[in-house]
Amino acid sequence: MVLNNIENLLEKYENGETSLKEEQQLKDYFSQETVAPHLEMYKPMFNYFSVSQKEQFTKQLPLKTSKGFNFKRLSVAAVAVLMLSIYVFKPNNLGETTITDAEKVEINNAKEALAIMSKHFNQGTAQVGYLGVINEAGTQVDYLKEITNPMDRLFKR
């Protein structure tokens, strides 16, 4: 009776028509020590299914929260800080230096000294202005050149 039932179930099983419950019946039947000899080959099949079902995933899961330490983000931040610091500190080396009051006084003194010097220099040039008269006189004496012309003609060079 039971065997007949199992055989029917096996046929349905092979056609993919059994329900989960019926498949469980088959598994139970084939988990016995002794089965009908002509159904012996089904035994390893169903036992394999039962045994495979017990295999477990044992590896640990590395679950990190996204807030965690992130090297990619850190490197981006580091580059940003680097660029910013270069931008901020470089102009200080080249740019306007701050001037203290003592330095201002020194600069003014130097300016005054230069002003005095240039004033005297200008006086000097003014005094030497009469030298210009010589140039004038030189041009007035140009007519003397005319004399050399007739001399050339006389001597027929």
Partner 1 sequence: MNQSEFLNIVTPFKDKVFRLAKRLLVSREEAEDATQEVLIKLWKNKAKIKDYKNVEAFSMTMTKNFCFDKLKSKQAQNLKIVHSNYQDHSVSLQKEVELNDSLDWVGKIMETLPEQQKMVVQLRDIEQYDFKEIAIMLDMNETAIRVALSRARKTIREKLTNTHNYGVK
Nearest 5°: the CA angle 36, 15, 4 is 30
Tell me: does residue 34 bind partner 1 (CB under 8 A).
no
**What tokens were used for 46?**
């169903």
Between residues 17 and 103, which has the closer beta carbon with respect to partner 1? 17
Can you list the positions of beta strands (E) in 22-121? none
The least distance separating partner 1 from the CB of residue 6, rounded to whole angstroms, comes to 14
**What tokens were used for 63?**
């679950």
d(CA 60, CA 11): 43
Per-residue x/- marks for partner 1, 76-105, CB under 8 A?
Answer: ------------------------------
Tell me: does residue 13 bind partner 1 (CB under 8 A).
yes
User: Residue 77 to residues 73, 83, 90, 121, 141: CA-CA distances in angstroms?
Assistant: 6, 10, 20, 63, 87
d(CA 73, CA 75): 5
Tell me: does residue 42 bind partner 1 (CB under 8 A).
yes
Tell me: does residue 8 bind partner 1 (CB under 8 A).
no
Tell me: does residue 32 bind partner 1 (CB under 8 A).
no
The least distance separating partner 1 from the CB of residue 76, rounded to whole angstroms, comes to 20
State which amino acid sits at residue 7: E
Tell me: does residue 22 bind partner 1 (CB under 8 A).
no
- The residues of the shown chain that bind partner 1, judged by CB under 8 A, are 13-17, 20, 23-24, 40-45, 47-49, 51-59, 61-63, 65-66
